[in-house]
Amino acid sequence: MKVVSFYRFIQIDSPDIIRGRAQVLCEKEGLLGTILIAEEGVNGTLAGSSESVRNVFNWLNDTLAVAEPIDGRWTEAEEAPFRRMRVKVKKEIVTLGRPDVRPDKLTGTHVDAKEWNALIADPNTLIIDTRNQYEYEVGTFEKAIDPKTDSFREFPDYAERLAADNTDRPVAMFCTGGIRCEKATALMLELGFDDVYQLNGGILKYLEDVDDADSRWEGECFVFDTRVAVDRDRAEGGYVQCHACRRPLSTQDLNSPDYREGIACPKCVTTLDDERAERLEERRKQIQLARERGERHSGAK
């Protein structure tokens, strides 16, 4: 089956009406996944047949009267990575905490992989990773700045501090698939930066388009699915995920005395209380029993 991720910033006047109709259509088409709808646009990931996904895209294109047809990043999967279909209304389709920042009105200049390499080679360019710190630690671009955020909501505070002294410098911004830096570049322009650029299609598109010899990417790329991270060939990488804090774990982390499978890791062990440890231990046991019976536990990843 196909797994397709997509987004579009566009004014939506009646998100609740769109939500209900989208839910009915997706269920009729036999799709699984999640779609978020807000006044600022739509963001989602769908799993199912190519024809069914196209039918939803065609409906969205007609309903939202988009100038350029919605499409997404298409990948193959042997089975659906989702168990149900959910369409939800949110304040933002990517949570910056600033629903007033509207990339459909103003956003940074999109650059492709070749232009990106030239842009970040300029020593005057500020290369900003708009992702969370734990994503940065898995892999990033050469000389990229880590804003040290634990969620995208923290990015505006970082951007305001940066704007105090650097608005005259060009800014190159990137994220996994493009949606976060789309909104982050709009914020930077609002804060007074003049030359703001974003990597078109994000890191995943860059890894797809650029040969290893020309790549400026270092490490792996964290992804929000069961693979945890992917390498330069977009194959499953060398990280697993902590079931307690959801952070990616390297081989070094797994060999740490602070790592307890399904319970804690070196990144969260100091925050673990006895009650939570008991719950996680019971969950770990249930997952193990399900595996021994050849079943999939509802909490397993």
CATH class for the region spanning 2-89: alpha beta
pTM of the entire predicted model: 0.81
**CA atoms 236, 241, 247, 250: torsion sign:** negative
Q: Does domain 109-219 have CATH number 1.10.40.60?
A: no
Strands (DSSP E) found in the chain = 2-9, 32-38, 41-48, 73-76, 85-89, 109-111, 126-129, 139-141, 171-174, 196-199, 217-219, 221-222, 229-230, 240-241, 248-249
Q: Which DSSP string do the residues of 226-257 spell out, in sequence order? A: TT-EE-TTSSB-S-EE-TTT--EE-HHHHTST
- 268 as an active site residue: the answer is no
Domain range list for the chain: 2-89, 109-219, 248-292
Catalytic residue among 175, 181, 221, 265: 175
Q: To which residue do tokens 């804090």 refer?
A: 245
What are 201's two structure tokens? Answer: 């299609």
Strands 217-219 and 139-141: antiparallel
What are 41's two structure tokens? Answer: 């646009």
Q: Residue-wise pLDDT tens for the chain (301 aa)?
A: 898 999 999 999 999 999 999 999 999 999 999 999 999 999 999 999 999 999 999 999 999 999 999 999 898 878 777 889 999 999 999 999 999 999 999 999 999 988 999 999 999 999 999 999 999 999 999 999 999 999 999 999 999 999 999 999 999 999 999 999 999 999 999 999 999 999 999 998 999 899 989 999 998 888 866 667 676 666 677 777 787 777 878 778 888 888 887 778 888 888 777 777 677 677 767 766 666 676 654 455 4
Of 39, 27, 187, 23, the C-alpha closest to 107 is 187
* Residue 15 φ/ψ, nearest 5 degrees: -55, -35
